[in-house]
């Protein structure tokens, strides 16, 4: 009876909440990776992420990447494996990783590139509108990292 059409399951109550894996990390760009290379990378990633149903944000500044990735667990895991083998960056530091039923934070961004100076504002905006407790907790952790970690200097010369 539960799979009869019209049954008011969890999906009807929270239509945008789905099983998502989230991976947030920072890394150091390899020698020779400049803004033009990052633009090409973003263009490629947007095309691939549409196919993989992955959304998120990529920040590049002062030779450091920060990326928020969210999507179906199998797709995100395969992307994580790719990222670890990608010679365009090194020293990947995981800032947050989780698998949960929740709403996407960036449902309309296949991989938006955000200026390093704006990343705090982007995350704070997301925190203001977030209703999902897991999202709120993750954003608070990341903002904590931003205040104290290596990313505190991203965008500053
Ligand atoms: C900083 C950084 C961010 C990346 N972000 C993505 C991404 O969001 N999506 C993606 O498909 N590839 C991304 N890549 C590229 C992957 O490492 C890898 O080249 C790509 O996933 C291979 O895709 P394919 O399996 O379709 O060949 C990124 C690479 C770097 C260095």
Q: Which atom of ligand 1 is nearest to the CA of 48?
A: 11
Residue 5 in this model has a pLDDT that exceeds 70: no
Cβ of 67 less than 6 Å from ligand 1 = yes
Helix 133-148 and helix 119-129: axis angle, to 10°?
160
Confirm whether 124 is domain-assigned: yes
Confidence of residue 11 (pLDDT cuts 50, 70, 90): very low
Cβ of 83 less than 6 Å from ligand 1 = yes
Domain holding 30, by residue range, is: 16-153
Query: Which of 38-42, 52-56, 115-119 has the weakest average pLDDT?
Result: 115-119
Confirm whether 36 is domain-assigned: yes
Ligand 1 center from residue 2 Cα (angstroms): 40
Residue 157 in this model has a pLDDT that exceeds 50: no
Confirm whether 46 is domain-assigned: yes
Nearest CA to 26 out of 155, 132, 130 is that of 155
Confirm whether 6 is domain-assigned: no
Domain count, the chain: 1
CATH number of domain containing 107: 3.30.70.100
Confidence of residue 149 (pLDDT cuts 50, 70, 90): low
Confirm whether 100 is domain-assigned: yes
Cβ of 88 less than 6 Å from ligand 1 = yes
Confirm whether 85 is domain-assigned: yes
Ligand 1 center from residue 81 Cα (angstroms): 10
* 55-61 vs 112-115, strand pairing mode: parallel
Q: Are 111 and 70 in contact (CB under 8 A)?
A: no
Cβ of 86 less than 6 Å from ligand 1 = yes
**Which residue's alpha carbon is at the smallest distance from atom 29 of ligand 1?**
83
Confidence of residue 118 (pLDDT cuts 50, 70, 90): confident
Confirm whether 103 is domain-assigned: yes
Q: Across all residues in the chain, what is the average pLDDT?
A: 85
As beta bridge partners, residue 115 has 60
Tell me, what's the pLDDT at 10?
45
Confirm whether 9 is domain-assigned: no
């Amino acid at each position: 009876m539960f799979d009869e059409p019209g049954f008011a399951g969890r999906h009807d109550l929270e239509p945008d909440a789905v099983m998502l894996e989230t991976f947030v990390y920072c890394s150091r760009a390899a020698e020779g990776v400049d803004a033009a290379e990052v633009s090409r990378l973003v263009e490629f990633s947007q095309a691939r992420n549409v196919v993989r149903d992955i959304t998120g944000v990529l920040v590049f500044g002062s030779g450091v990447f920060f990326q928020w990735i969210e999507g179906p667990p199998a797709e995100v895991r395969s992307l994580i494996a790719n990222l670890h083998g990608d010679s365009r960056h090194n020293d990947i530091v995981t800032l947050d990783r989780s698998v949960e039923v929740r709403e996407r934070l960036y449902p309309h961004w296949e991989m938006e590139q955000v200026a390093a100076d704006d990343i705090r504002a982007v995350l704070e905006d997301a925190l203001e509108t977030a209703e999902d407790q897991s999202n709120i907790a993750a954003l608070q952790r990341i903002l904590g990292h931003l205040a104290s970690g290596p990313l505190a200097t991203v965008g500053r010369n």
